[in-house]
């Protein structure tokens, strides 16, 4: 006579065999996952740095001012285009993040919005937008009146960003950023930062960068932003209000389509390793040049090995377009690097220059100077 | 999991935190995918769990338990996601397990049968048979009593078996 446990054991053994042999049940891990995790940790690191920075507000403000002066000196066109922004440190922060934005702004690829709305003694102003098909950077400011003398820091607690039809692109609710889906395209906030409340005018300035999941997607031309509450990090206090504004993207920004070039394969030697790579596609956007590079022979490297590329783009006159993100370490060897854009330049030729490759493992890494130059177009 | 790496992560080293998380990312994603059946949502959930783990890593007392601790955060994030979508109730009562009524006679593929299971049940079966977790580990990860875990896994195995037999009868 069989017991309940016996039956369980028999059933389990049969089903286990069935399940393990079923080919459809293998769950493929998307290549993008590692990139997404690294990106999230990168943002968290930045956020932690910003939080630390808030502790020494005065010192940071001075440094920010100095940095901005440097940017102004280096780039008068940039300073002119954004001279209306009330507190400049936020843009310094944005530029530290991304030289591609600076290049786009220098070339007039920014739109002033300057729309304000006041609620609960706080004026919200949407200041500027820098956008192309790939991403959108919004700068904004919050100005406090005398009814909130004690507040030193603020945070957007609950807000939504929608298209003209009211469909959600992204936002924030219950401490979580929201990711909306319109058609097949998902939108999310990649970077977000808000300065402390500064100066006699009691203004905090912030920016957020919105990106789309689909490389071929475009941002909707009409954007509505609605904030329903702000939070005070020190006390946990929530300030309710209604701050709503909208804008329509300037056709100059909305119609700036990426320039697309086909990819190509190439090989290079990193010490004893011969690496076979393929640039899958190249897209030149106003704010960045994006491409994906696939590593074709991962089986030739030991298991558990990662690859770290040091690279940039260069035109026929030797002008360098830097890699925007930090170097990306991937165990698949596939990367999606972004570079400062050459969109506004009249370069006839563009080269990918891989300066060095580091083959890493948990026990350490070895760096090889490669100096491989691949003509992209 | 390298304890030195986890300890350094606990001391605030973000690179070590990344290394520790990336070492368990595949399992975390697989479990999230089992719950949500959508790659984008599964990736979002894992990334949200990364954020929570980053904020709370100092609270992890035993570095040996990093993987269990992190997977548990992922599972809680999955439950939160499902709750928000209101697709499934996350009640743990015995009657909540089992296949959902669907067109069983026309959709008798094992994959489909699994997709009709309650997300919690689906992920428990996946954890047991693909990721090799013990029933005790699954009980810890899902925060369910061991007896409930056993009942749900065996109950669902039985249901799957019956449905597959039904399928064979149709062929």
Tell me if residue B155 falls in helix, strand or coil. Answer: helix
Query: Which of B26, B50, B129 lies nearest to residue A16, judging by beta carbons?
Result: B129
Which band of pLDDT confidence, cut at 50, 70 and 90, is reported for residue A330?
low
Q: Does the ipTM exceed 0.90?
A: no
pTM flag (> 0.90): no
User: Which tokens go with A81?
Assistant: 């285009």
Q: Which domains does chain B have, with CATH numbers?
A: 3-85 (1.10.1740.10), 90-169 (1.10.10.10)
Q: Assess A255–B contact: CB distance below 8 Å, yes or no.
A: no
pLDDT of A25 > 70? The answer is no
pLDDT of residue A208: 87
Burial of A348 (0-12, 13-18, 19+ CB in 10 A): exposed
Q: Inter-chain contact B158–A18, Cβ cutoff 8 Å?
A: no
pLDDT of residue A20: 60
Q: Assess A32–B contact: CB distance below 8 Å, yes or no.
A: yes
Q: Inter-chain contact B47–A30, Cβ cutoff 8 Å?
A: no
Mean pLDDT of A352-371: 81
Give the separation between CA A169 and CA A247, rounded to whole angstroms: 15
Query: Which of A24, A41, A176 lies nearest to residue B54, judging by beta carbons?
Result: A41
User: Which tokens go with A251?
Assistant: 């056709």
Tell me the per-residue pLDDT of B95-107, one tens digit each, with 9 for 90 and over: 333 333 333 333 3
Contacts of A234-241 spanning 24+ positions with Cβ under 8 A: A234/A152, A234/A153, A238/A157, A239/A120, A239/A122, A239/A148, A239/A157, A240/A120, A241/A119, A241/A120, A241/A122
pLDDT of residue B3: 80
Q: Assess A33–B contact: CB distance below 8 Å, yes or no.
A: yes
Residue with tokens 């739109």: A111
Minimum mean pLDDT range among A86-95, A100-109, A361-370:
A86-95
**Chain A hits for B161, Cβ within 8 Å:** 11, 14-15
pLDDT of A148 > 70? The answer is yes
pLDDT of residue A53: 35
Q: Inter-chain contact B130–A20, Cβ cutoff 8 Å?
A: yes
Please choose, from the candidates A350, A349, A344, the residue with its C-alpha nearest in 3D space to the C-alpha of residue A78. A344
> What's the half-sphere exposure (Cβ side, CA atoms, 13 Å) at B89?
9
pLDDT of residue A91: 53
Q: Give the chain B residue whose CA is nearest to the CA of A361.
A: B19
Minimum mean pLDDT range among A214-218, A314-318, A336-340, B57-61:
A214-218
Q: Inter-chain contact B50–A40, Cβ cutoff 8 Å?
A: yes
Mean pLDDT for chain B? 76
Q: Give the chain A residue whose CA is nearest to the CA of B128.
A: A16
**Alpha-carbon distances of A159 from A142, A171, B74, B101, rounded to whole Å:** 14, 5, 25, 38
Tell me if residue A333 falls in helix, strand or coil. Answer: coil
Which band of pLDDT confidence, cut at 50, 70 and 90, is reported for residue A82?
very low
Q: Inter-chain contact A41–B29, Cβ cutoff 8 Å?
A: no
């Amino acid at each position: 006579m069989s017991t309940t446990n016996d039956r369980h054991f028999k059933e389990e053994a049969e089903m286990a065999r069935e399940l393990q042999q079923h080919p459809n049940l293998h769950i493929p891990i998307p290549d993008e996952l590692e990139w997404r995790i690294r990106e999230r940790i990168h943002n968290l690191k930045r956020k932690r740095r910003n939080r630390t920075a808030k502790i020494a507000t005065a010192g940071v403000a001075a440094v920010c001012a100095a940095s901005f002066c440097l940017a102004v000196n280096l780039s008068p066109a940039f300073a002119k285009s954004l001279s209306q922004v009330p507190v400049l440190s936020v843009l310094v922060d944005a530029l530290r993040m991304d030289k591609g934005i600076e290049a786009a702004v220098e070339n007039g690829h920014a739109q002033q919005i300057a729309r304000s709305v006041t609620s609960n003694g706080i004026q919200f102003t949407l200041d500027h937008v820098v956008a192309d098909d790939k991403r959108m950077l919004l700068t904004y400011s919050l100005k406090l009146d005398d009814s909130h003398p004690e507040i030193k820091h603020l945070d957007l607690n609950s807000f939504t960003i929608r298209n003209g039809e009211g469909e959600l692109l992204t936002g924030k609710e219950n401490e979580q950023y929201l990711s909306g889906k319109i058609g097949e395209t998902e939108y999310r906030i990649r970077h977000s930062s808000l300065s402390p409340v500064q100066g006699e005018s009691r203004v905090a300035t912030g920016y957020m960068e919105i990106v789309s999941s689909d490389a071929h997607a475009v941002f909707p031309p009409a954007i509505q932003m609605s904030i329903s509450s702000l939070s005070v990090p020190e006390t946990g206090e929530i300030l309710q209000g209604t701050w709503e504004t909208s804008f329509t993207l300037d056709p100059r920004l909305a119609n700036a389509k990426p320039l697309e070039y086909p990819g190509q394969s190439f090989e290079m030697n990193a010490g004893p390793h011969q690496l076979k790579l393929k640039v899958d596609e190249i897209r030149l956007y106003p704010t960045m040049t994006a491409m994906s590079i696939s590593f074709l022979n991962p089986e030739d490297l030991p298991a558990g090995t990662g690859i770290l590329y040091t690279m940039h783009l260069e035109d026929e006159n030797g002008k360098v377009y830097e890699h925007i993100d930090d170097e990306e370490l991937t165990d698949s060897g596939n990367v999606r690097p972004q570079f400062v854009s050459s969109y506004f330049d009249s370069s006839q030729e563009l080269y990918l220059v891989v300066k060095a490759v580091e083959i890493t493992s948990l026990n350490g890494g070895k760096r090889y100077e490669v100096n491989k130059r691949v003509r992209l177009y | 999991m390298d304890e030195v790496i986890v300890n350094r992560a606990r001391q605030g080293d973000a690179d070590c935190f990344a290394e520790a998380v990336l070492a368990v990312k595949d399992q975390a994603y697989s479990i999230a995918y089992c719950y949500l059946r959508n790659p984008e949502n599964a990736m979002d959930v894992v990334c949200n769990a990364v954020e929570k783990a980053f904020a709370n890593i100092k609270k992890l007392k035993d570095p040996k338990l990093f993987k269990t601790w992190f997977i548990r955060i992922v599972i809680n994030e999955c439950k939160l996601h499902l709750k928000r979508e209101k697709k499934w109730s996350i009640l743990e009562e015995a009657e909540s397990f089992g296949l959902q009524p669907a067109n069983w006679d026309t959709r008798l593929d094992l994959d489909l049968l699994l997709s009709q299971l309650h997300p919690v049940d689906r992920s428990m079966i996946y954890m047991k048979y693909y990721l090799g977790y013990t029933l005790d580990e699954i009980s810890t990860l899902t925060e369910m009593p061991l007896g409930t875990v056993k009942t749900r896994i065996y109950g669902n195995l039985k249901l799957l078996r019956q449905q597959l037999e039904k399928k064979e009868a149709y062929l």
